[in-house]
Structure 1
Amino acid sequence: MSRALPAERLPYFADGAPIGLAHRGGSTYEPNVGRENTVAAFREAVEMGYRYLETDVHATADGRLVAFHDDVLDRVTDRRGTIADLPWSEVSAARINGTDAVPLMDELFETFPQARFNIDIKAPAALAPLTEAIRRHDALDRVCIGSFSDSRLRAARKALGPRLATSAGPTDVATMRLLPSVVSRLLRSPAQALQIPVTHRIGPLTPTVVTRRLVETAHRLGKHVHVWTIDEAPEMHRLLDLGVDGIVSDRIDTLRDVLAERGHPLRP
C-alpha cells in the first residue's frame, strides 16, 4: 500500500485546523432549509466566512456534472427522474424548493473561486466529468475527493496524481470500525483525511469510531480527522477537545459560533 503525502504538504489543508465544512452549504441553517446544494446555500456559507464547502456530484445522461446529493430529483425538486437517465436540458429545468436551479460543478468553481470543495463522487459516471472539470478550472489544489467506492477513489488518484487530496474509502473505514487493532496500518492508505461519523451501528451495538487514540494515531501519520455530520454545540466542543481537524455541519451558524468561542473565527 503506497504512502500518501501528508496533509500538511497539500494546499487544500493549508488553512490549518480546525476547519469548518458547510455540509451541502449548511442545509438546516434557516435561510438554507430546502435549498441544499444550491448556489444560494453555498453563498450563505461563503458570506458567513466558510471556505470549505461540502457537496456531491452526479452526471447527467449527456455527461454534465451536477452538484446534487440524491441519484433522483424527486426528494428536493419539482421534477422526478433519475439524474443518470436524464439529459442536462431536463435536469436544468428542475427547481430545488421551487426556486433554485440544480448547479453544475463548473458553476460552483466559477462562482466561488476562493472556496475549497469537499466532493463526494456519488456515481461511477461522475468520475470522468469531475476530473475534467478539476483540470479545466485548475482546481486541483482546492478539492478533496471522497466516495463510498474504493474503486472510484483509486481511479481519481490515478487520474489526478499525488497532489490530489482524498479521504479514506469504505474498506479502510469499515475495517477501522470493526478492527481497531489494525488502525495504525490502515491509516497508511493514500488518503490524507479520515472523514467519519462519531459512531457506527453494527447490529445491536453502536461502537464509537472517533476516539482520542484514533485522532492521535492519524496525526502521527500526517492525516486529518473530519467528523460528520455534527449540528449540536456541545458535541462540536467535545470533538474539538479530542483534537479533530474538521467538523462537517448543516448548522453552519452553530459551528461558526463554536469556532469563534475557541479562537478560530471565520473571516467573511
Structure 2
Amino acid sequence: MFPYLDAPKPLAFAHRGGAATGDENTAEAFERAVKLGFRYVETDVHATSDGVPVVFHDDTLTRLTGQAGRVADLRWADLATLRINGAAAIPRLDETLDAWPEIRFNIDVKADNGAAPAVEAIRRAGAADRVLLASFSDARLARLRTLAGPAVATSLGMRSVTLLRLSSLARLPLRLPPTAVAAQVPVRHAGLTVVDRRFVAHCHRLGLQVHVWTVDDPAEMERLLELGVDGIMTDDLPALRAVYESRGHWPGNGA
C-alpha cells in the first residue's frame, strides 16, 4: 500500500546521512550517502521559531555548531548563517526533499512544534510517497498521522513498541494505526532485548517491517539479518554496504 517500502529487502538506511564521518544531517553527509549507493536516509526535524522545518537532531545548537541557543527559539534567518568548515550547517527540510527527489527519507520529528511544518514541507515537495514519519512520542505520531493523512507511512512510538514487544511475548494480537508500516527499534533498551526471532516473526504476522537502529558492528549486522530484520540503520555506511554486498543484498534498497 505504501510506495515508501516498495524496494527489495533488507533496506539500508544512512542514519543521519552517516554520522560516523563526523558531520550529520548536512547536505554533504546526504550526498556522500547517495554516492555510496544508499537510497534510504534517516534524518531528524525541528522547527524554528518562525515555523521553518530544519534538518537537525538536537534541541540545542551546542554539540554540532558550538553555538548557544535552542532551535525552537531561533528564526530561520539566524540558523541560515551558521557554518561548519565553511559549509551550511543546518539544511531546511523542503530544500533537502527537493535536492534528492530519488531518495526516500525516514523523518524523525523531534518536537511537537515541528509536526505541522514538517507535513507542510512534505506536501509542498510532493514527497508523500517517499517519506516515513517517525517519533519516539506516540502523541506526536498521532498528530502527524492526522496532519499527513492516510497516504504517508509511519512507524511506532515508544509506548506502541512496548506493547508490541509484550504482545510478541504473550502471542497476543495488537491493533495498529492503519499507516504504521514498521517497528523501528534498537536491539536492546534499558538492558532488555527488543529484537529477537520471536519479535521479528510477530511483527511480520502483523504486517510490520522491522528496522533496527543504530548498528555499526558488522557482526551484529550479520546476526540481525539472520533473524530476518527488514532494514538496518547505521552511522558506518561502508560497513553496512560491505555486509550487504557479502550477502548479495547490495543494492538491496531499490538503487
Is 2:147 the partner of 1:151?
A: no
* 1:65 corresponds to which of 36, 48, 53: 53
Is 2:183 the partner of 1:194?
A: yes
3-state DSSP class of the match of 1:185? coil
* Aligned counterparts, 1:49-198, within 5 A: 49-96=37-84, 99-177=87-165, 180-182=168-170, 184-186=172-174, 188-190=176-178, 191-198=180-187
Q: Give, in angstroms, the shift of residue 120 of structure 1.
A: 0.4
* 1:242 corresponds to which of 209, 219, 227: 227
Q: Give, in angstroms, the shift of residue 96 of structure 1.
A: 3.5
The TM-score, its normalising length taken from structure 1, stands at: 0.89
2: distance between equivalents of 1:199 and 1:79?
33
The TM-score, its normalising length taken from structure 2, stands at: 0.93
User: Is the contact between residue 167 and residue 174 of structure 2 (CA under 8 Å) also seen in structure 1?
Assistant: no
2: distance between equivalents of 1:42 and 1:187?
35
User: Is the contact between residue 176 and residue 182 of structure 1 (CA under 8 Å) also seen in structure 2?
Assistant: no
2: distance between equivalents of 1:174 and 1:127?
23
* Structure 1 unaligned blocks of 5 or more: 1-8
- For residues 182-212 of structure 1, what are the alpha-carbon distances to aligned partners after superposition, in whole Å with 9 as ceiling and x for unaligned? 56433634421000011111xxxx2211011
1: distance between equivalents of 2:225 and 2:35?
24
3-state DSSP class of the match of 1:235? helix
Higher deviation after alignment, 231-240 or 154-163: 154-163
Is 2:3 the partner of 1:11?
A: yes
* Structure 2 unaligned blocks of 5 or more: none
User: Is the contact between residue 104 and residue 130 of structure 2 (CA under 8 Å) also seen in structure 1?
Assistant: yes
Q: Give, in angstroms, the shift of residue 220 of structure 1.
A: 1.7
The amino acid that maps onto 2:247 is: R
User: Is the contact between residue 54 and residue 117 of structure 1 (CA under 8 Å) also seen in structure 2?
Assistant: yes
2: distance between equivalents of 1:184 and 1:14?
28
2: distance between equivalents of 1:184 and 1:234?
32
RMSD: 1.7
Partner of 1:6: none
Q: Give, in angstroms, the shift of residue 110 of structure 1.
A: 1.2
